[in-house]
Structure 1
Amino acid sequence: MLTAPPRLLLVHAHPDDESLWTGGTIARYAAAGVQVTLVTCTLGEVGEIIPESLAQLAADHADQLGGYRVGELRAACAALGVSDHRYLGGMGRWRDSGMVDTPANAHPRAFASGDLAAQVQELVAILRDVRPQVVVTYGPDGGYGHPDHVRAHEITAAAVAEVPDVERLYYTVVSRQAVDAGVAALAGVDGLPWRLPAPGELPAVDDAEITTSVAIGDHLPAKLRALRAHATQVSVWQAQDGTYSYALSNGVAQPVLEQECYTLAGGSGEAAETDVFGGLAPVEHVGADR
């Protein structure tokens, strides 16, 4: 019987999250012929801006950062091979809520305080349209506590519960062992333009919580191109010895890791140690009778 390509859907809060958390995974599966759908929940309107030349785009000035980041995200999707990108509820439906206890939390369109039921149903509609076997988002803490990440987790968990076609739900996490090794390697690199993180400063989980580790070494060039596309939010640096690092607006150096890790939150974990689709049955071809 003819089979259709597997389908992977990722739910991320802001432009750049797809590249930072799951860029290598997206690039790997897209290159293998998987249909990759990315759902972005906001335009990232209140992100901090790295280039001084773009500082006036900020929410408390021209308030044009969200529109600018649309272009950044488009370029990142092209670098990663995303075949289907959608904004939850349409472009601009919900707004970046900002970090906890910031004025952006009170905006009337803030994603984190928006109508939860409406957000869930918007995602349910996408899931029913795409019919992915595998869905990826953040864990209950949003990875590091950002209100929009937490809300993305909440709506994804609720939406997946309504769509039985989804066979696996994963939460994206970072290996503490890999981060510690990466930071230790950066400590020996000359010319690093940012400070090294303090122990425990970067979000990570104990490796015992990881169920799936996806090797992305062959796809780091695509991930790095995607990170560079998000120039308002991310700076990428390469040492003379070829070592890469990146930093957000806080100027804390982060290592570029050769694996992206996940915790299985729903579905069978059989044969899923190194492949989010591992052990799943081939997808039946969508014919005229379906």
Structure 2
Amino acid sequence: MSELPDRRLLLVHAHPDDETINNGVTMARYVAEGAHVTLVTCTLGEEGEVLVPELEHLAADQTDQLGRHRIGELAAAMDELGVTDHRFLGGPGKYRDTGMIYNDEGNADVPPETRPDSFWQADLLTAADDLVPIIREIRPQVLVTYDQYGNYGHPDHIKAHRVATYAAALAASRSYREDLGEPWDVAKIYWMAMAESGMRESLRKLRESGDTTTFEGLDPDGPLGPYVTPDRFVDCVISGEGYIDRKMNAMKAHATQITVDGPFFALSNNNGSEIWGSEAYRLVKGTAAPGPDGVEDDLFAGL
């Protein structure tokens, strides 16, 4: 595949908008630098909450057309970031958004009842086999996905982590499914991270500005929960400098899911690019190549 650029990045996400919130700056940067960026989204986000009143009829408990609408939102967001290679796992709508509940601890969890076509119920090997040929086609040096907790416990995030991890292992095996392409071993695998110091600093500035409702109940000096990553585990930080506006515009493209007066924009307005602009990662496969400050500033460092 000589026509592909030298640097190739694959991101595996659960729903439309997850990619922009977590990796919008990263994607925009690597596109701008000439790398090939591929996004695989595992569901259409059919169970999402509709934040635009005139589109409430699209919701799962009404006309159930939200997933189709979010295909358009994702395309618009990718236009903002410059990403031209974005796909749905197994094709649009093969795996349905599982939805989520909040458990007694206040964390996201699996709903008591899930549909048979939900991503959570999907056979792991079947779903991995939808990703293996993409890995073998694109041959990414870097793969980005969630940690084993799905960052905050959403069942589809956890499932995306499992599918991406399993598919990466299978894709590297010479003897696995020759019909799915030539084997490819991804050199570096990263899990997305929310760095603890950045989150605490941003919360502090929010509280000092008089905002007590954004991330309500979280104390800048108190426990923050399992979705926050201690700084010692952060291996790479991609700076938002030059790309934060693209990320914010891409977030606005996900209009049914993200409001401009919501927490993302509250934080961005208060803190510039400090939290949503800097995107942190944990390296879980491969060798880190940190800079003088002990952290990488490039996912491809050392390759």
Query: Separation in 1 of the partners of 2:301 and 2:252?
Result: 31
Deviates more, 1:229-238 or 1:115-124: 229-238
Deviation at 1:246, TM superposition (A): 6.0
Query: Separation in 1 of the partners of 2:225 and 2:141?
Result: 34
> Does residue 219 of structure 1 match 2:243?
yes
Q: Which position in structure 1 is the counterpart of 2:185? A: 165
Q: 1:112 to 1:4 in 2, by over 3 A?
A: same
Deviation at 1:262, TM superposition (A): 0.5
Query: Separation in 1 of the partners of 2:110 and 2:141?
Result: 37
Q: Which position in structure 2 is the counterpart of 1:116? A: 124
> Does residue 207 of structure 1 match 2:227?
no
Query: Separation in 2 of the partners of 1:82 and 1:204?
Result: 28
Q: Residue 151 of structure 1: which of 150, 159, 173 is its match?
A: 159
Query: Separation in 2 of the partners of 1:153 and 1:195?
Result: 27
Q: Which position in structure 2 is the counterpart of 1:236? A: 260
Deviation at 1:258, TM superposition (A): 2.9
Alignment of 1:94-109 (within 5 A): 94-99=95-100, 100-102=109-111, 105-109=113-117
Deviation at 1:202, TM superposition (A): 8.8
Alignment of 1:8-47 (within 5 A): 8-47=9-48
Deviation at 1:255, TM superposition (A): 7.5
Deviation at 1:7, TM superposition (A): 0.4
Deviates more, 1:201-210 or 1:52-61: 201-210
Query: Separation in 1 of the partners of 2:161 and 2:4?
Result: 31
Instruction: Quote the sequence identity (%).
Output: 41
Task: Give unmatched runs, 5+ long, in structure 1.
Answer: 248-253, 281-290
Q: Which position in structure 1 is the counterpart of 2:177? A: none
Query: Separation in 1 of the partners of 2:164 and 2:4?
Result: 27
Answer yes or no: is the 8 Å Cα contact 2:76–2:250 preserved in 1.
yes
Answer yes or no: is the 8 Å Cα contact 1:48–1:233 preserved in 2.
yes
Answer yes or no: is the 8 Å Cα contact 1:95–1:109 preserved in 2.
yes
Q: 1:235 to 1:255 in 2, by over 3 A?
A: farther
Q: Which position in structure 1 is the counterpart of 2:283? A: 264
> Does residue 175 of structure 1 match 2:195?
yes
SS in 2 for 1:85: strand
Q: Deviations over 1:175-223 (max 9, x none)?
A: 1110111122223447x69545312269311111111111112210000
Q: Which position in structure 2 is the counterpart of 1:69? A: 70
Q: Which position in structure 2 is the counterpart of 1:285? A: none
Runs of 4+ aligned residues of structure 1 deviating over 6 Å after TM superposition are: none
Query: Separation in 2 of the partners of 1:246 and 1:109?
Result: 36
Q: Which position in structure 1 is the counterpart of 2:179? A: none
Query: Separation in 2 of the partners of 1:246 and 1:65?
Result: 27
SS in 1 for 2:242: helix
Q: Give the CA RMSD over aligned residues.
A: 2.5
Answer yes or no: is the 8 Å Cα contact 2:198–2:274 preserved in 1.
no
Q: Which position in structure 1 is the counterpart of 2:207? A: 187
SS in 2 for 1:53: helix
Deviation at 1:165, TM superposition (A): 3.0
Q: Which amino acid aligns with 2:47?
A: V
Q: Which amino acid aligns with 2:231?
A: D
Q: Deviations over 1:47-106 (max 9, x none)?
A: 111122211111011101101111110001111111200100001100000113436x52
Q: TM-score, normalised to structure 1's length?
A: 0.86
> Does residue 278 of structure 1 match 2:301?
yes
SS in 1 for 2:266: strand
Q: 1:246 to 1:91 in 2, by over 3 A?
A: farther
Query: Separation in 1 of the partners of 2:237 and 2:202?
Result: 16
Q: Which amino acid aligns with 1:245?
A: A
**Total equivalences in the alignment:** 268
Answer yes or no: is the 8 Å Cα contact 1:186–1:255 preserved in 2.
no
Answer yes or no: is the 8 Å Cα contact 1:182–1:257 preserved in 2.
no
